[in-house]
Structure 1
Amino acid sequence: MSWTALDVGLVIRQTMRAFLRHRMLFALTALGVLVAGGAVMLTLKPRYTATTTVVVSGRAQQDPLAPNGQQQNLAPPDDELVSTEAAMIHSRDVAAAVLAQLPPPPVPPHVGMRDRLCHMGLGFLCHASTPVDPEVQREHEEDAFLNNLTITPEPRTQILDINVVDGNPQRAAALANAVVTNYQRIALARQTADINHVATWLDNRTAALRQRWLDAVEKANAFDNANGLTNTTEGSTSTPLIERQIADTSANLSQAEGRLAAAQARADALRDAAARGDARAAVALSQEPILVATANALMQLQSTRQEEAATYGPQHPRLRALDQQIAATRASLEAETQAALSTIREDQISARAEVQRLNENLELLRQKAGGQSAPQAEYRTLDQEAQSARAVYETFLEHAKEVVDRAALLQPPIAVVSHASAPDMPSFPNRKKIGLGLMAVALAAGAGAVLLRDYFAAGFTEIERLRAAVPLPLLAVVPKVGGRSEQTVRRHVIDHPYSRATEAVRSLVMQLSMRVHEGGQPLCLAITSAGPEEGKSTLALWMATVARRGGQKVLVIDADHRRGMLDQYLTDGTTGRPSLGMSDLVTTGVPVADVIRTDPDTGFDYIPAGRTMQHAFSPVEIRRLRAILAELKRSYELVIIDCPPLLGLSDALVHANMADQVIFVCRWKSTAQRAVMACLERLEACGAPLAGVVATMVEDNAMDVMGYSYGNRDIKILSRFDDK
């Protein structure tokens, strides 16, 4: 079903009217919730929250066996590590350490009425003493502390907020700081234990590896001695001497051959330079100082001659002296060159002899090594095993030293950013928030009470619901009239002729006059309801008053012989209940004129109820009643029968069947919907001519439009015209 704007507006208006109808219930419910909630809030003990902020450093993930260089390149701690640290802080070990440092204060015993009576001497009321297990009590204290401890990681950071709740602000701050210090101590102890465990394992492993290395060396030496191998000892291992000698001889041979080749090359270059007379080459190739000085002197003289020739000409006498000096120097250079060549030849002879000797030694060593090849190969394998065992032993020994050194540099996995201080204001109860929440709950409880009261109401609370439920026209909606006495209510249409209630009654009389008897015929109208106290008698009197003031001759019949109250209403209750009435007309056949009375205030006539009948209507009495009504209709224009209620009684069905029109009165919020429908079904079953339904005692907020009412100024103006 689709909702329109009109439907939504109707629901809103109905809800607002429900709140107006039950405003006292709403106020009392909300006030009760506020009072109860305020009382509970006053009984709550204040709780203080102290916070210590720490940062996770990430050192807890270091590997004790990793080298120092790798320890410094660890990645920053991630969210999983932060969560792990938070879980480790929120552990029983930390709780036990904190409570051991700061024990909980003793709780004063609760002394109730039973305890007081026990102290007065009534021993049978004393509580049986039960021993308390210290272990169980300690676990309870740890559980209580962990419930008051919360670890909150800040998003996208490595920061943790450690919150501790306690009834004492100073103790809360001390507990928060104690959590950090004790966890740091426990974490350091755990890391130290891990490193000590690793160091112990490394010591054991290092000792085993050292023994393995020594055993390998001993085995290699024993093999060397058993096979008569010639080896040299370096440190703790033996190296084959023959191979070392071969290597040394080969190196010396290479050096000797190099010296021989260098001397041969220098001699050839020096001969070539001497043949060409190149003094510069002689300087570069020779290592003899005299030869170098002679070559330099020759180059200087040649340079001087070139300058003199360029200056004085080629025939100058000074040039002849320079030529003589150059010739003498050249001869000296040739002599020094020959001396240098002689020296080089001596070096060649020596180098060649050394090369030959080394070749002979090398050949002898190779022949000797050939005889030791098989045992030496096995010895080499044993030696390699010893070297491998030594390398592993030295590696583990180095790690063991690093682990021992690292134990002195351990740091806790968390560092304090800010210590907790004693809070000034309690974190619980937050009276402002609880007050706002309590007000919201109170308003919701009041609204819920109103809606439930309206939903489970037995009677009709909305005009629209009445129209939808009853398949009859709604003739009038009579508002509720306030009055201190029944006489004040009865005289309302006289004292307030322009009120809403009077206008509703006037409209009802007019509708019946137009719809039923357009030709001016008399009208017999029966008014009934489901139960008593629904306003049908008051409605009958009001209709009679309005019709009489309109000039009609009206008769009101009180047909409720069980509890007829019409005579008391009209006589102010001073004359008592009359002895003759409508029941006497039906049962005994007394004359009608003997039971008719006249109301002096309004001028209409009425017939009291009469004596109580103790039997149902007989056929004779029904025919007599029909004849009486026909006779009365000949004397009055409007005959109104105030019938008894329909629930549990059948008298009203007889009167309703004989009336020209029947009005069913439904009291607002009082008459149950099922009762209304059941009564209407009974009236339809007996053939009663139902004209419609009249809602009585309706509140002003029951519908959107109750009708028009005049103000005080309008009533004064209309009263002047009435007086005239």
Structure 2
Amino acid sequence: MAEATNMRAEERQDLAGLFSRLKRHLPIILACVVGMVVAAWAISKVLPRRYTAAAQLEYTPQSAVAGAPQTQLSDLARDAKIDAEVQTMKSLPVATRVVEQLKLDRDPELRAAAKDFATDAATGKQAIAGALLTNLNAARVGTTSLFEVGYTDKNPLKAMQIANAFAQAFMAEDLETKASEYKDVDARLNGQLDELRRKVEQADAAVAAFRVRNNLLGLPDSVTAEQEISSIRGALASARAEEAAARARSGASGSTIVGGGTNSPYSTATMSSLRQQRAQVAARVAALQSRYGERYPALADARKELDAIDAQLSREMRDLSRSAGNASQAAGSTTASLEASLAAAQARLAGNVRASVELADLQRTAQNARDAYQQLLNTSTQQNAQQSIVRPDSRIAAPASLPLTPSSPNVPVLLFMGAVLGLAIGLAIAYVRERWVQGLDTVDDIETMLGVDYFNSVPTPASSIEKPRTSDPAEATLLHPLSAYTEAYRNLATSLSFTAASVQGGKILGITSALPKEGKTTTSTSVARVLATGGSRTLLLDTDLRRRSVSVALAPQARIGLGEVLAGTATLDDVIVREEQTGLEVLPLAPTAGTSSHIFETPEFSALLAELRRRYEHVVVDTAPVLAVADTRVLAHHFDALALLVRWRYTPARAARAALHQISSVGAGVTGVALTMVNLKVQSQSGFGDPSGYADYMKDYYAQS
């Protein structure tokens, strides 16, 4: 119980419970929604009609340098570029172009609106352009490369013209910006061309000066130089061979001449002939000497002939020796000349190689400069050609068309906003009603807000009986004994009787309420009747001294009652009224009864209750409201079970808590709480968590009964 008392109601409610509570205020919420929707519809009929025309453009960037590859932008960079295009669309220069193009400075509406933008620094057209921008809307279309510009005006044709004019003015502004970029690029290219031209001229001049300085009027040919060296080397080898031969001939001795044969290096035809003659003469001398002796005269002649031949050979040899020496000297000179030519050729070849390397380096530098110059010249040529066909970074994808339906007021949006506002107001009212009144509705409310046990809910006859045959709630239990209405009183009677039975001799069942008009008398009467019809000897005791509701309803003719019994002027048997249909006995209050609660504090009253305990199985006591008078607090300690009635969605929770507090302040307590006058049809729709919320499930059961 303590946990239920300390736990907040919100913590005991799930989503279905909250929705159930919301359904209680559904009529008010629906009324607010319908009212606001109607108001929104009426507003839409009063507001002036405005039309919006929109043109779409596509971002297709073009490089400012002709021939340069198109840079692939990242998604982030592309988004930034498109956002920049949108901002340019909404810029003052573009709007000023539109004003000049359409001559909007003559438009009276815009001239009137431009007064808010007039400053000392702004011209008339700029002020009108500022007024024009107030009705302009430019935005990107989703995440695509498209963006649109829209203009809103009372005249649909004017809206279309201005929207298209903005698109064209934006293109012109973008084109002018691109042209300026091209001019800047062209100026930079011309400056670079001049610089490269100077570098080419300097490189060519360096090549020419090197050629002149190294006597390279033509291209150095290393192959020809190598062929020349090879030829010189061949000739040198031959010259050296000839020189060796000449030296050999020059160094031949006389013995070689005298004794030389035909294989001698100095053999000539003359010398060969002389050598043959000498050999013949020498042979004849030898023959004559051996045959005739030294004194033979022919031997002397032969010897003279031999000496003459030897003298002739000597002379011939000297001539040949001189000739060989001369030849040897000539061969040596030739060899030296060829060796000098070879050294000179090799030196020239080495020089040519070095010069070729340096010249090639200079030529490469010059060629690179010419190539760079030519490439930049081609780019400049393309750039100049591109300037004539330059286009902006965006193109018009779809021009604005004539709007046939107004964009403002947007009736569906207004109706939706009205519905949302109405729903918000309805929910606010529902919240205020829920928190302001704080009526009790379900078993959760009883347990969490009051902290006491819950008995049951008592419905109204109209909501629990299909076709009630009476409008009297107390009589309905007699006419419809098997209905859900009567069964609710049986449940309450059962709960009270079982609680009282736990007390020694417990028979006194008290029924009270915090405030009047909570169904206390009807409940007391109905509980007593269902106990009596159930076979229990039951007495209904009326203790409401001021209203006497039970006595008026069940014993209207009574002239004596409880007061007389306590005063000793009448007995119980004299005052008790018996209801023949149910067997219920009633102890009424006579009209002459006083209003002082002191009669409930007397020993006579205690003795009376003891007698009633002896006579009856159940004594149902109808008391006065707790907060109205002190009677119930005086009676509370006599009850074996006490039910506090709370009218469904009517009795404030504060009043019920105050009643509980007052009862507990006298040392008594409430056994449980019952909800009365519950509309089962409503509760079945919105009483989530309460047993009455399942009335629809039991409707057929009671109907068959």
* TM-score for the superposition, normalised by structure 1: 0.56
Query: Do the aligned partners of residues 509 and 462 (structure 1) sit closer, same or farther apart at CA in structure 2, a change above 3 Å counting?
Result: closer
Residue pairs, 1:167-206, within 5 angstroms: 167-189=154-176
In structure 2, which of residues 621, 632, 635 is the aligned counterpart of residue 641 of structure 1?
Answer: 621
Query: Do the aligned partners of residues 54 and 134 (structure 1) sit closer, same or farther apart at CA in structure 2, a change above 3 Å counting?
Result: same
1:148 to 2:136 alignment: yes
- Stretches of structure 1 that go unaligned for 5 or more consecutive residues are 1-6, 64-70, 111-130, 208-242, 252-257, 262-395, 716-724
* SS of 1:617 mapped into structure 2: helix
- Stretches of structure 2 that go unaligned for 5 or more consecutive residues are 1-9, 195-210, 219-224, 229-375
In structure 2, which of residues 49, 64, 77 is the aligned counterpart of residue 62 of structure 1?
Answer: 64
* TM-score for the superposition, normalised by structure 2: 0.57
Answer whether contact 1:598 1:606 (CA < 8 A) is retained: no
Q: Which residue of 2 aligns with 1:475?
A: 455
* SS of 2:472 mapped into structure 1: helix
Answer whether contact 1:487 1:569 (CA < 8 A) is retained: no
Q: Which residue of 1 aligns with 2:480?
A: 496
Determine the C-alpha separation between the residues in 1 that align with 2:156 and 2:617: 90
Q: Which residue of 1 aligns with 2:672?
A: 692
CA shift digits 1:520-573 (9 cap, x unpaired): 96833221122222111111111222233345554333322233333443478x
Query: Do the aligned partners of residues 524 and 617 (structure 1) sit closer, same or farther apart at CA in structure 2, a change above 3 Å counting?
Result: same
CA shift digits 1:320-355 (9 cap, x unpaired): xxxxxxxxxxxxxxxxxxxxxxxxxxxxxxxxxxxx
Deviation, structure 1 residue 20: 5.0
Q: Which residue of 1 aligns with 2:288?
A: none
Answer whether contact 2:117 2:130 (CA < 8 A) is retained: no
User: 2:28 corresponds to which letter in structure 1?
Assistant: L
Determine the C-alpha separation between the residues in 1 that align with 2:154 and 2:548: 72
Q: Which residue of 1 aligns with 2:570?
A: 591
CA shift digits 1:348-385 (9 cap, x unpaired): xxxxxxxxxxxxxxxxxxxxxxxxxxxxxxxxxxxxxx
Determine the C-alpha separation between the residues in 2 that align with 1:109 and 1:412: 32
CA shift digits 1:465-496 (9 cap, x unpaired): 42455555433332222399996112111121
* SS of 2:602 mapped into structure 1: helix
Query: Do the aligned partners of residues 164 and 556 (structure 1) sit closer, same or farther apart at CA in structure 2, a change above 3 Å counting?
Result: same
Q: Which residue of 2 aligns with 1:561?
A: 545
1:661 to 2:641 alignment: yes
Answer whether contact 1:527 1:641 (CA < 8 A) is retained: yes
Answer whether contact 1:498 1:709 (CA < 8 A) is retained: no
Deviation, structure 1 residue 511: 4.6
Residue pairs, 1:243-262, within 5 angstroms: none
Query: Do the aligned partners of residues 193 and 568 (structure 1) sit closer, same or farther apart at CA in structure 2, a change above 3 Å counting?
Result: same
Deviation, structure 1 residue 31: 2.7
User: 1:72 corresponds to which letter in structure 2?
Assistant: G
1:670 to 2:624 alignment: no
Query: Do the aligned partners of residues 173 and 595 (structure 1) sit closer, same or farther apart at CA in structure 2, a change above 3 Å counting?
Result: same
Query: Do the aligned partners of residues 636 and 162 (structure 1) sit closer, same or farther apart at CA in structure 2, a change above 3 Å counting?
Result: same
User: 1:150 corresponds to which letter in structure 2?
Assistant: A
Q: Which residue of 1 aligns with 2:92?
A: 92
Query: Do the aligned partners of residues 77 and 36 (structure 1) sit closer, same or farther apart at CA in structure 2, a change above 3 Å counting?
Result: farther
* SS of 1:422 mapped into structure 2: coil
Determine the C-alpha separation between the residues in 2 that align with 1:203 and 1:635: 129
Percent sequence identity is: 23
1:605 to 2:586 alignment: yes
Q: Which residue of 1 aligns with 2:332?
A: none
Q: Which residue of 2 aligns with 1:721?
A: none
In structure 2, which of residues 145, 148, 154 is the aligned counterpart of residue 161 of structure 1?
Answer: 148
Deviation, structure 1 residue 22: 3.8
Deviation, structure 1 residue 646: 1.5
Deviation, structure 1 residue 675: 3.5
Query: Do the aligned partners of residues 188 and 520 (structure 1) sit closer, same or farther apart at CA in structure 2, a change above 3 Å counting?
Result: closer
Answer whether contact 1:475 1:694 (CA < 8 A) is retained: yes
Deviation, structure 1 residue 76: 5.2
* SS of 2:547 mapped into structure 1: coil
1:51 to 2:54 alignment: yes
Deviation, structure 1 residue 690: 4.4
Determine the C-alpha separation between the residues in 1 that align with 2:460 and 2:111: 61
Determine the C-alpha separation between the residues in 1 that align with 2:503 and 2:147: 96
Determine the C-alpha separation between the residues in 2 that align with 1:438 and 1:132: 32
1:509 to 2:515 alignment: no
Answer whether contact 2:446 2:452 (CA < 8 A) is retained: no
* SS of 2:458 mapped into structure 1: strand
* SS of 2:544 mapped into structure 1: coil
* SS of 1:566 mapped into structure 2: helix
User: 1:53 corresponds to which letter in structure 2?
Assistant: Q
Query: Do the aligned partners of residues 671 and 404 (structure 1) sit closer, same or farther apart at CA in structure 2, a change above 3 Å counting?
Result: same
Q: Which residue of 1 aligns with 2:335?
A: none
Deviation, structure 1 residue 174: 1.0
Answer whether contact 1:34 1:442 (CA < 8 A) is retained: yes
1:72 to 2:74 alignment: no
CA shift digits 1:602-654 (9 cap, x unpaired): 563241374685766389x5333323433444555433221112225321011
CA shift digits 1:670-713 (9 cap, x unpaired): 33334434433433443436443322223422335459567687
* SS of 1:557 mapped into structure 2: strand
Q: Which residue of 1 aligns with 2:606?
A: 626
Determine the C-alpha separation between the residues in 2 that align with 1:643 and 1:671: 17
* SS of 2:456 mapped into structure 1: strand
Query: Do the aligned partners of residues 414 and 21 (structure 1) sit closer, same or farther apart at CA in structure 2, a change above 3 Å counting?
Result: closer
Query: Do the aligned partners of residues 199 and 686 (structure 1) sit closer, same or farther apart at CA in structure 2, a change above 3 Å counting?
Result: closer
Mean Cα deviation higher: 666-675 or 195-204: 195-204
Answer whether contact 1:599 1:606 (CA < 8 A) is retained: no
CA shift digits 1:505-532 (9 cap, x unpaired): 2233345445535999683322112222
* SS of 1:591 mapped into structure 2: coil
User: 2:133 corresponds to which letter in structure 1?
Assistant: F
User: 1:475 corresponds to which letter in structure 2?
Assistant: F
Query: Do the aligned partners of residues 147 and 589 (structure 1) sit closer, same or farther apart at CA in structure 2, a change above 3 Å counting?
Result: farther
CA RMSD of aligned residues (A): 5.6
* SS of 1:482 mapped into structure 2: helix
User: 1:505 corresponds to which letter in structure 2?
Assistant: Y
Deviation, structure 1 residue 32: 3.1
CA shift digits 1:391-436 (9 cap, x unpaired): xxxxx99999999987665544443333221133444555456656
Answer whether contact 1:555 1:607 (CA < 8 A) is retained: no
Determine the C-alpha separation between the residues in 1 that align with 2:593 and 2:628: 16
Query: Do the aligned partners of residues 430 and 637 (structure 1) sit closer, same or farther apart at CA in structure 2, a change above 3 Å counting?
Result: same
Determine the C-alpha separation between the residues in 1 that align with 2:84 and 2:110: 38
Deviation, structure 1 residue 149: 2.0
Determine the C-alpha separation between the residues in 2 that align with 1:518 and 1:438: 60
Q: Which residue of 2 aligns with 1:331?
A: none
Deviation, structure 1 residue 166: 3.5
Q: Which residue of 2 aligns with 1:339?
A: none
* SS of 1:546 mapped into structure 2: helix
Count matched residues: 513
Deviation, structure 1 residue 72: 2.9
Determine the C-alpha separation between the residues in 1 that align with 2:134 and 2:117: 20
Determine the C-alpha separation between the residues in 2 that align with 1:456 and 1:655: 33
Query: Do the aligned partners of residues 93 and 494 (structure 1) sit closer, same or farther apart at CA in structure 2, a change above 3 Å counting?
Result: same
Determine the C-alpha separation between the residues in 1 that align with 2:493 and 2:386: 110
Deviation, structure 1 residue 150: 0.8
Determine the C-alpha separation between the residues in 1 that align with 2:142 and 2:492: 76
Answer whether contact 1:95 1:146 (CA < 8 A) is retained: no
Determine the C-alpha separation between the residues in 1 that align with 2:503 and 2:654: 38
